[in-house]
Amino acid sequence: MESRIEAQDQTSGAVDAGALLSVRNLRTEFELRRWVFARAGFVRAVDAVSFELKRGEAIAVVGESGCGKSSLAKTILGLYRPAQGEVLFEGKRLNTFNAEELRWYRSQIGYVQQDPYGALPPFMNVRRILEEPLIVNRLGGRAERERRIREVLDEVRLTPADDLLPKFPHMLSGGQQQRVVIARAMILRPRLLVADEPVSMLDASVRVEILELLRRLQTAHHLGVIYITHDLSSVRHFSERIFVMYAGQIIEKAEVHELIHDPLHPYTRALLAAISDPNPENVSAFKNVPPGEPPSLVRPPPACRFHPRCAEFMKGLCDVEDPPEFQPQPGHRALCWLYREAE
């Protein structure tokens, strides 16, 4: 399969033209348990994923559980080694990094985990949690480290610092814990933040506050941000583009407004239709949900992976040939045969 390298999109607003991160034809696999010599097979969690993230741009990767979005994040973070394809950060190939370069790379990307309580070591206080990345990377003396810690705490609005620094994670509320996680992700002044479901464990009234904080950091530091989420409704306010993932592939990419108001892929349409807004009329209406469940990633359906559930299924095409990425509108791409003549 030839790699599908995304062309440059038009820049919007404060976003620079230069790519911060390029992902090219990426595939991440996990081998199933082997039986003596026989290979049981592979779970192809990420397959043929290509995109570019610009400096200062936020994208949201949206999909259901098991669609491969977290595996994509972890491959980008360098925690999983890709089986095929490559990740380029500022033009440098992640696959070729030696230990020193990998350490540099990891200082350039901040990781915001889903479950803040699980992500913070319970036996370290806030000062120690934030100091550790600085010590590991041998940055500054004691006084300098202390200054940086206070600076970051101020940025994530965890004040007064003197009250918070000696506290242990269990003494903080969920929102405060997530701020500590964000502070830790920011402490080495990264260029890219990867946030995996950053607010899904938090209450509605706190979520917006955390997402606004991330947006503020993005703007202030011209950060690239990748949100991994299942929650389209909230992330739409805090990102420039949305990618929809299904069964290991990104099946649609578009700017936020485009994707929500003019979704192309039948799966995206089904997903959007299933999302409720608080509305008293909902009580009397049934939702139209595509039949079946997302496929196994060990033996996904041939060709288009959504075809067994798709209302627009075209026999002899969708189940035979992989749909390439069509671009019916500038900057709006979909992996779907419906758009074969629209380009």
Which residues bind to another protein, rule: CB under 8 A? 64-65, 173-175, 203-209, 211-212, 230-234, 236-237, 260, 270-272, 274-280, 282-283, 286-287, 289-290, 293
Q: Which is nearer to another protein, 23 or 120 (CB)?
A: 120
* Shortest Cβ 225–another protein spacing (Å): 17
Q: Which is nearer to another protein, 4 or 215 (CB)?
A: 215
Q: Tell the residue number behind the tokens 């062309």, with chain if given.
A: 7
- Cross-sheet strand order for the sheet of 19-31: 42-54, 19-31, 84-89, 92-93
Name the phi and psi angles at 35, rounded to 5.
Answer: -110, 100
Task: Write the CB contacts of 88 (distance below 8 Å, at least 6 apart in sequence).
Answer: 19, 21, 22, 23, 24, 94
| Whether 112 contacts 185, CB under 8 Å | yes
* Shortest Cβ 239–another protein spacing (Å): 12
Q: Which is nearer to another protein, 278 or 316 (CB)?
A: 278
Residue 149 has which token pair? 């810690």
Q: Which is nearer to another protein, 2 or 277 (CB)?
A: 277
Instruction: Evaluate the CA torsion angle 308, 312, 316, 318 in order and state its sign.
Output: negative
* Shortest Cβ 278–another protein spacing (Å): 5
DSSP string, 202-214: S-HHHHHHHHHHH
* Shortest Cβ 237–another protein spacing (Å): 6
**Distance, CA of 158 to CA of 150 (rounded, Å):** 9
Q: Which is nearer to another protein, 5 or 32 (CB)?
A: 32
**Distance, CA of 139 to CA of 154 (rounded, Å):** 20
Q: Which is nearer to another protein, 20 or 271 (CB)?
A: 271
* Shortest Cβ 234–another protein spacing (Å): 4
